[in-house]
Each structure stands twice: as C-alpha cells, then as structure tokens.
Amino acid sequence: MFIGFGTVGQGCARHLLNNRTFLKNQRGLAYKVTGIVDIVKGSIQNTEQGVDLSKALELVGAGKKLEESSLPGKRGLSSTEMIKSCGGDVIVEGTWTNLTDGEPGLTHITTALENGLDVVTSNKGPIALCYSNLMNLAKSKGRYLKFESTVMSGTPVFNLYEHGLIGAKVKELKGILNGTTNYILTEMTAGKGYSETLKRAQEAGYAEFDPSGDVDGYDCAAKITILANTLMNADLNFSDVAREGITKVTPDDIQMAENVSNRVKLLASARRNSEGRVIASVKPTQIPQTDILAHVNGVMNALQISTDVQPDVTIMGPGAGGDSAGYGLLNDILSINRLRQGATEYQPPLMIQES
C-alpha cells in the first residue's frame, strides 16, 4: 500500500504499472496494491481485488479525491488504520520530510514494522533522525526497511555499496547531494546573481517557495547523516553535522576560486578521524577543477566513496524528480522481493542508540 501519494508515490506507481509484465516475467515480482492513503488526495482500500492503479493515477492527475471516486473499496481510513488493516506485506512511504521529529513518517514506519510489514521509503526525516532504532526494530520483527531514494533519489548509492563495495571499508564520503544548491552555484559560476538564480529555480520547480531546507544545508546534512550511518556505521546524529549553506557565497568568492582553478560547490562530507569517530560537515568548498566533482553541474548529484581497497569510486545521476525517486522505491521493492526469495542481506552491526 502507498502512504503519501504525491510526486514520488505516483512516480513509483507509474513504474509498477508501466512495467507490470517485465516485473513479473523478468524480475519475479507480481503485486497487488491494497490501499492508498494521502492527506490531500484521499484514501481507498481494497484488500480483496486491489486498487486499480491506473484509475487512481488518472484521478489524482485530474485533481480528484480517491474517496470521492467510483473506485470500489473502503473509504475514510486514517494512515495508521490503513497500515494495520492493509492485508499487504510492504508499505511504500512517501510523505513529507520532517527533520525535527520525523513525523508523520516515523509513526508510519514503526507502525508498519510492528505490524509485520516491510517498508520502503523516500522520506529522509525518520532515517536521518532514527536510523538505528528503526533498523533494530526491523531486525527484531524480521522485516526489511529500505530507503534508496532518500539520498540521490533513484541513483543507486545504497545498492552500489551493498552489492559492489561490501568488501571494502569506507574511509571517506564526499558528495554534491542537493540539486537546487548545485544549480544555483552553477549559474553563479556562469556569472548570474544569487537572488535571480534562486527565483528562476523556484519558477522551474527546483526550489521550494521556502528554500531554506536546501540553501541552508539541512537537506544535505540529512543525506550525509544517512550515508555515514549506513556506509560507515557511524554513530552520527543529524545535529552532529557541521552545517553551512550557500546564502553567504558571493560572486567574488566564486571568481576568486575560479582564478586559482578551483570551483565552489556545496560539499557534504564524512570521514573517520584518527580516534575512529566519523566527522561530517556540509559547507561551500573550493574544489580543484581537476576533481570530477567540480564538473557536476546543474541539478545533478554525485557521491565519491573512498575505501581502503578502492580509492575513489564516483557515482553520478539525478538527485530529484518523481520518476527518479519513484524508481528508487521500485528498486527497494525488488530488493525486498529478492530477499524474501532467499537472497541474503548484509547486516551491519548496530551500535548506535538514539536517546
């Protein structure tokens, strides 16, 4: 079932629908959507026949409420009522990111795990704030919790780590993890001003009406927290990340960097210090133009993973958008399906305890 049926939830639904035959025949995934619940778009549950996904997408696309439609099913259930009675085995959680207390996603995820359901989510809040508690809960209940699209959207960073780098110890992470700020800095490097570029980003839909989550570095801080805890087994809280956004970057700063063959990027990084602690930060940083990260432009994202055996592996790709983040959720559903069929999962030792 889907909780939160906005840009990302609908993106995932479109992939499920458009690739139904491929998913079934080539990837062994047959599915039925038992419910959809969304504060704005309404809710509908049909555990017997499943909800007609094509109709549901058409309705919300036309701005109509699911419960006011002719779709057969039960109406008016809250998110938690729906989770408890959904009759399915995985929830797709795509509600808004709240970096203060993780709600409402945190309640959705814990309720689902406690009720024996697996969870895939694109919601950074609960994972950045409560990673170890949630993973411990999932483990204790024998369920899976996957969150590929929380960082770099559908660009598969966690899959890359779990499958390609599992034999390596991650020493350092460096990334350009926020498309809005990278777009603004790219335009400023081309000579445009901060305010006019921010306005254009808002008009193009890259930046929110209230852009502080992006330009003040909160979004990047959440992402580097998730990465450090997942890839480096760091005992890191979101509030431990030293954070500086791009609002104080001036055209002069950018020109001075260019004059010495550097480029200003909002860099999120994490590295283990000599005492073994992981230190993370988000700040505007001059990067040499010989570094691949200096050439990641516009809304693109990239992450450089440095390990003991493989110096720098860089992954680059889209960091936002319904299709991309929806693909991340689909990937997680497929991973869980494979695990249920007997594949084994890497289980990091969980040492972290949030208060």
Ligand X SMILES: NC(=O)c1ccc[n+]([C@@H]2O[C@H](COP(=O)([O-])OP(=O)(O)OC[C@H]3O[C@@H](n4cnc5c(N)ncnc54)[C@H](OP(=O)(O)O)[C@@H]3O)[C@@H](O)[C@H]2O)c1
Q: Per CB under 6 A, which region of 91-99, 126-134, 197-205, 333-341 contacts ligand X?
A: 91-99
Stretch that binds ligand X, among 14-22, 31-39, 229-237, 282-290 (CB under 6 A): 31-39
Phi, psi of 138, deg, nearest 5: -60, -45
Least Å from the CB of residue 142 to ligand X: 26
37 binds ligand X per the rule CB under 6 A: yes
Kindly state the number of chain residues that form the binding site for ligand X, as judged by CB under 6 A.
25
Candidate ranges 90-98, 183-191, 235-243, 304-312; the one touching ligand X (CB under 6 A) = 90-98
- If binding is defined by CB under 6 A, does position 170 make contact with ligand X? no
104 binds ligand X (CB under 6 A): yes
Cα–Cα distances (Å) from 338 to 27, 109, 166, 244, 332, in that order, read: 9, 21, 18, 40, 10
Nearer residue to ligand X within complex by CB, 149 or 229: 149
How far is CA 340 from each of CA 14, 89, 120, rounded to the nearest angstrom? 24, 11, 14
Residue ranges in 330-349 that form contacts with ligand X under rule CB under 6 A: none
For β-strands 262-272 and 278-288, DSSP reports them as: antiparallel
Q: What is the dihedral of CA 45, 51, 57, 63, to 10 degrees?
A: -40
| Contact call for residue 111 and ligand X (CB under 6 A) | no
Question: Quick check: 39 binds ligand X (CB under 6 A)?
Answer: yes
CB atoms within 10 A of CB 100: 8
User: Minimum distance from CB of 37 to ligand X (Å)?
Assistant: 5
CA atoms within 13 A on the CB side of 207: 25
Annotated catalytic residue: which of 223, 248, 265, 283?
223
- Segment lying near ligand X (by CB under 6 A), choices 33-41, 68-76, 159-167, 241-249: 33-41
Residue 4 found at the interface with ligand X (CB under 6 A): yes
Q: How far is the CB of 337 from ligand X (least distance, A)?
A: 21
- Nearest alpha-carbon partner for 171 in 69, 60, 309: 309
**What are the structure tokens assigned to 218, written together?**
């909160």
| DSSP E strand stretches across the chain | 2-3, 35-38, 42-45, 90-93, 118-121, 145-146, 170-176, 242-243, 262-272, 278-288, 300-307, 312-318
Smallest separation (angstroms) from ligand X to the CB of 21: 26
Which listed range, 6-14, 109-117, 127-135, 258-266, lies at the site for ligand X (CB under 6 A)? 6-14
Rounded Cα distance between 34 and 314, Å, is 39
Interacting residue with ligand X among 97, 155, 225, 233 (CB under 6 A) = 97
Candidates 6, 73, 102, 245; binder of ligand X (CB under 6 A) is 6
Q: How many helices (H) and strands (E) does the chain have?
A: 13, 12
Q: Which of 3, 106, 112, 303 binds ligand X (CB under 6 A)?
A: 3
DSSP letter string, 203-264: HTTSS-SSTHHHHTSHHHHHHHHHHHHHHS-----GGGSEE--STT--HHHHHHHHHTTEEE
Q: State yes or no: residue 42 binds ligand X (CB under 6 A).
A: no
Whether residue 223 lies in the annotated active site: yes
Burial pattern 179-193, b for ≥16 Cβ within 10 A else e, equals: bbbbbbbbbbbeeee
Identify the residue among 34, 45, 79, 331 touching ligand X (CB under 6 A): 79
End-to-end CA distance of the chain: 31
Q: Which of residues 264-303 bind ligand X (CB under 6 A)?
A: none
Q: 329: closest CA among 27, 53, 122, 112?
A: 122
Q: Does 7 bind ligand X (CB under 6 A)?
A: yes
- Comparing CB distances to ligand X, the nearer of 47 and 107 is 107
What binding mask, one character per residue, do residues 141-160 give for ligand X by CB under 6 A, x or -?
--------x---x-------
Closest separation in Å from C-beta 80 to ligand X? 9
Binding-site ranges for ligand X (CB under 6 A)? 3-4, 6-9, 37-40, 79, 94-97, 104, 122-124, 149, 153, 320-322, 325
Hey, which residues are catalytic here?
A: 223
